[in-house]
Amino acid sequence: MLMLLPVVAKTAAVTALGGRLDRFDFAVIGLYLLGMVALGAMLATRIRAFKDYFLASGALTTPLLVCTLVSSYYGIDVTFGTSESGYYYGVVAWFWYSLPYYFFIASAALVVAPRLRRYGGAMTLSDVLERHYGVRTRVVGAMACYVYSAPIIAMAGLMTMMELIGVPTTWGVIVVIVVCAMYTIMGGLWADAISDTVQFVLMCVSLAIAIPLAIEWVGGWSFVTYLPPSGDGGLRNHLVHHGGLSGWMLLAWSLTGVTVLVEPAFYQRVFAASDGRSVQRALLVGILLWASYDWGATLLGLVAHAAVAQGLLPESLAGKQALVSVCLEMLPTGLRGLMVGGIIAAAMSQVDSYALLASGNLVYDIYRPLFDREASDKRLLRLTRIGVFAVMFASALASLLFDRMRDAWQFMASVMASVVLVPVMAAIFARPRRAAGFWGAVGGLAGLAGFYALLFTQGMKDPHEETYIWRVGGIELWQDYAVLCALPASLGGFVLGHWLEGGEP
């Protein structure tokens, strides 16, 4: 789950804070990276077939699922993005962005997951699409999944992190890619899931240690008096649930959580679970952890805001630097390394999980049905392993195309939801005809392309919000509304396809 807020507008140059990391901190990070490679080597012996590699033999238990789901959904973008939101907007980000996500996750656990168990032998979301709509819909859906899964944002976040800690960006990212690729190529989902547990503990514990120390650093709970007053009856917008934002904006924020229902990692984990109940329990336990992590990151954003007001941090501080800046300023040596290791772990857990998914999309979902239906298990396994490295490398390059992480996330999530949401939900809950899924996917894609074409030609870039806004009459259409405008087109295409085909579903 990616938590970059749609209207995070203010940016500033990244300031290197790496002078505060010493050799001991780097030793902690180095040990962690070496441990990950050793783990991959140990698990490589367990991989005999494609299912072992891509679905960990369908043997993931509840605690493994908790760790892998929590850490895969939460990457560096969340760590930076959520604290950035807390820094600029306050607790509204938690109430109107994070909280709706938990509702959709609970729906996925209680309503969607039990229905997926009937797809015996399925490995990906595209398998579900093919089962109902045929190969062409599978391929279109898989392409959308690939766009969504390629770990572009995690790579962009890693680059920012390297800049922040003063490590040469290119070399830092290369080291992380090589380490991630080594253990993922060797151990597949087993290595991914087990490394996720280490990353899960590292990211949770480092945040749990940082929170009380940060509050003490800004002078205890009285730090809230340093948050800016709203001039609205004395209530500070940073501390009220709506943050002083409009109802439409809050609605747009809360609807972004709908992508959870077609999250490829969720489908992969459901098919990799040892039994149906495991994944439900994992998601419900995960909600508690996600809610706590989001709250902690939001709070550190508030702390950073108060620290700037107190003169403890520079006024030029960019929101995305909030969490890291607070931690590097106030944590003692060793713990700083743990915190930075925790943040890198959050990025790595996302890079490995999604590179594996994206490679599976390319090889299992697109290459196999289109070019080599009779491909042997061994060939699929070899190609998917090569694909993992290729996806990581390509994603690092693609991340350079986007100026801001938000733009990348918005584009990827919009493609995914516009193309796949309507066909997949209809497949799971109704009995649609075969053509409906294809035209639903194509309709969503056309709607999205049309929206972007009109927005970028007719709209203007708002210099304050740093996003495109198209003003038609009295209505403002923001770049953030892409998926809201494309979904009706997908629904229209779906209904038209269902109606035109005729006959029995």
Partner 1 sequence: MMELATWVAVLVLGPGSMAIFVWFLFSLRDALDGEDEQGRERRDAG
Q: Please, which residue, 56 or 487, has the CB nearer to partner 1?
A: 56
Q: Please, which residue, 205 or 460, has the CB nearer to partner 1?
A: 205
**Token pair of 41, please?**
């080597």
Q: Please, which residue, 157 or 296, has the CB nearer to partner 1?
A: 296
Q: Could you say which residues in the range 233-262 bind partner 1, by CB under 8 A?
A: 239
Contact 306, 223 (CB under 8 A): yes
Note whether 335 binds partner 1 by CB under 8 A.
no
Note whether 46 binds partner 1 by CB under 8 A.
yes
Q: Could you say which residues in the range 294-333 bind partner 1, by CB under 8 A?
A: 295-296, 299
Note whether 468 binds partner 1 by CB under 8 A.
no
The 3-state DSSP class for residue 256 equals: helix
Note whether 14 binds partner 1 by CB under 8 A.
no
498/440 Cα distance (integer angstroms): 9
Q: 470 forms bridges with which residues in the sheet?
A: 477
Q: Please, which residue, 53 or 411, has the CB nearer to partner 1?
A: 53
Contact letters (x/-) for partner 1, 85-104, by CB under 8 A?
------x-------------
Q: DSSP string of 43-85?
A: HGGG--SHHHHHHGGG-B-HHHHHHHHHHHH--HHHHHHHHHH
Q: Please, which residue, 77 or 196, has the CB nearer to partner 1?
A: 196
Q: Please, which residue, 48 or 471, has the CB nearer to partner 1?
A: 48
**Token pair of 73, please?**
């959904």
- State the minimum distance, in angstroms, from the CB of residue 207 to partner 1: 5
99/93 Cα distance (integer angstroms): 9
Note whether 15 binds partner 1 by CB under 8 A.
no
Helix axes of 434-458 and 125-133: crossing angle, nearest 10 degrees:
120
- State the minimum distance, in angstroms, from the CB of residue 239 to partner 1: 7
- State the minimum distance, in angstroms, from the CB of residue 356 to partner 1: 17
- State the minimum distance, in angstroms, from the CB of residue 52 to partner 1: 7
Note whether 197 binds partner 1 by CB under 8 A.
yes
Q: Could you say which residues in the range 50-69 bind partner 1, by CB under 8 A?
A: 52, 56-64, 66-67
Amino acid at 36: M
Note whether 371 binds partner 1 by CB under 8 A.
no
CA distances from 236 to 64, 217, 240 (A): 41, 22, 7
Pick one of 221, 457, 464, 503: the residue that binds partner 1 (CB under 8 A). Answer: 221
Instruction: Tell me the window of 42-50, 76-84, 98-106, 256-264 that interacts with partner 1 (CB under 8 A).
Output: 42-50
- State the minimum distance, in angstroms, from the CB of residue 499 to partner 1: 45
380/402 Cα distance (integer angstroms): 32
- State the minimum distance, in angstroms, from the CB of residue 341 to partner 1: 15
Burial of 364 (0-12, 13-18, 19+ CB in 10 A): buried
For 127-195, what is the HEC assignment? HHHHHHHCHHHHHHHHHHHHHHHCCHHHHHHHHHHHHHCCCCHHHHHHHHHHHHHHHHHHHHHHHHHHH
Note whether 209 binds partner 1 by CB under 8 A.
yes
Question: For residue 318, what is the DSSP state?
Answer: -
How much of the chain is in helix, strand and coil states, percent to nearest 5? 75, 5, 20
Pick one of 251, 288, 370, 397: the residue that binds partner 1 (CB under 8 A). Answer: 288
Q: Please, which residue, 34 or 49, has the CB nearer to partner 1?
A: 49
Note whether 422 binds partner 1 by CB under 8 A.
no
Burial of 397 (0-12, 13-18, 19+ CB in 10 A): exposed
Note whether 212 binds partner 1 by CB under 8 A.
yes
87/83 Cα distance (integer angstroms): 6
Pick one of 34, 174, 208, 401: the residue that binds partner 1 (CB under 8 A). Answer: 208
Instruction: Tell me the window of 20-28, 287-295, 407-415, 427-435 that interacts with partner 1 (CB under 8 A).
Output: 287-295
Positions touching partner 1 (CB under 8 A) are: 46, 48-49, 52, 56-64, 66-67, 91, 194, 197, 200-201, 204-205, 207-209, 211-212, 215, 221, 224, 239, 274, 285, 288-289, 291-293, 295-296, 299
